[in-house]
Amino acid sequence: MIAMSVFNIPTGAFADIVGHKVSVVMGLFFHALNGLIFYIYPTYNGMMIGMLSAGLGLALQTGAWSSLTYEVLEKEGKIDKLVEVMSKAGAYFSLAAVVGSLVGAPIFKYAPRLPFLLFFICILLSGIVAMQIEYHKPKNKPTLSGLLATTKDGIKFMLGSQKLMGLMVLTIAMTTSRMLMNQNILQPYQINIGVDVALIGVTAAIIQMIQTGVMAWAYKVANKVGYEVSLIITVLAPAVAVLMMSQVSSLASLGFIFVYCAGQAFKEPIAGFLALKLMVPTHRATMASTSSVLSSVIVGLLLPLGGKTIDLYGLNYTLILLSVWMVGVGGMGIAIYNYGKK
């Protein structure tokens, strides 16, 4: 995360200058290289180099994928399908994670290094597929002055949009909650309510499948109830579920866990679509990178506080605070988005 955050600063401007397709393909190459390095050099130094390569690869793709998708649909006259495409793409990604886990686990048991090689091959193939995309902006030669100017303008556009800042506040609220739940709460909480350790992997698979379904249908729900209502759902559903988790200490709480994860999955395509529509076309990747850097830094600073709260006051009290956090900070983000200037 640290490497990606550092690389995110210049790569957004790079993508806006050379073209989003070029940035995506380069990003996939460096991301794939991570797996090959892990496979060839399974040492500490090899892992460090691999993580730097992965960070650069992911940074090159940040904002570039969504920007490229926008450009392709715009040139094909199908921009009204953007949220549908983003929802389904998120669902495919989630489904791929389920398949990868099921296939990768037994392979890793008998050949621990082989999954890294397979990772390299799969990501490299995706880069080759991305190269076949026809609609993209013509690339320009990047210069230092051009990168600096694009970065400066992109940051200014991002920070100058109250609506985008509102969506970023919402993202910070929900991402902090999601990471704290995933890293510090879900596993010990399930053990506390009686879930056998051996079955935690099963609940993780169920969560992944639920999120896949939610992402696939998110655009239909948003089109039906409206995007403002959808944003409220992305906050209230997880917040209420977490509050109920703090009050119910039985296997019935698994249902609240599923609701929480479904609400988090619902947010991704909705907030992403709304942000993409507000961004300046010539600086989309730069603006997305700016948002990613700011969000990552703030979330990274907040997570240790969440862990300390668990240590001092226990899971149930932390869950109550987490519910209040999502409603308070997430609600503030929605208010800024609804009433702020573009």
Domains, the chain, in order of start with CATH, read 2-131+143-153 (no CATH), 154-339 (1.20.1250.20)
pLDDT band of residue 170 (cuts 50, 70, 90) is very high
Q: DSSP labels for 66-124?
A: HHHHHHHHHHTT-GGGHHHHHHHHHHHHHHHHHHHHHHHHHHHHH-TTHHHHHHHHHHH
Span 278-337, pLDDT tens digits: 988 888 888 888 888 888 889 988 999 999 999 999 999 999 999 999 999 999 999 999
Please give the DSSP secondary-structure letter assigned to residue 327. Answer: I
* % of the chain with per-residue pLDDT over 90: 44
pLDDT greater than 90 at residue 148:
no
Residues 6+ apart with CB under 8 A from 225: 233
Please give the DSSP secondary-structure letter assigned to residue 328. Answer: I
pLDDT greater than 80 at residue 146:
no
pLDDT band of residue 138 (cuts 50, 70, 90) is low
**C-alpha dist (Å) from residue 157 to 66, 153, 292:** 18, 6, 14
CB burial of 122-133 (b: ≥16 within 10 Å; e: otherwise) equals ebbeebeebeee
**CA gap 59, 8 in Å, rounded:** 5
Radius of gyration of the chain (CA): 20
pLDDT band of residue 139 (cuts 50, 70, 90) is low
Span 92-127, pLDDT tens digits: 888 887 787 777 778 877 888 898 999 999 999 999
Q: What angle do CA 137, 120, 198 make, to 5 degrees?
A: 120
Closest listed residue to residue 309, CA positions, set 301, 318, 300: 318
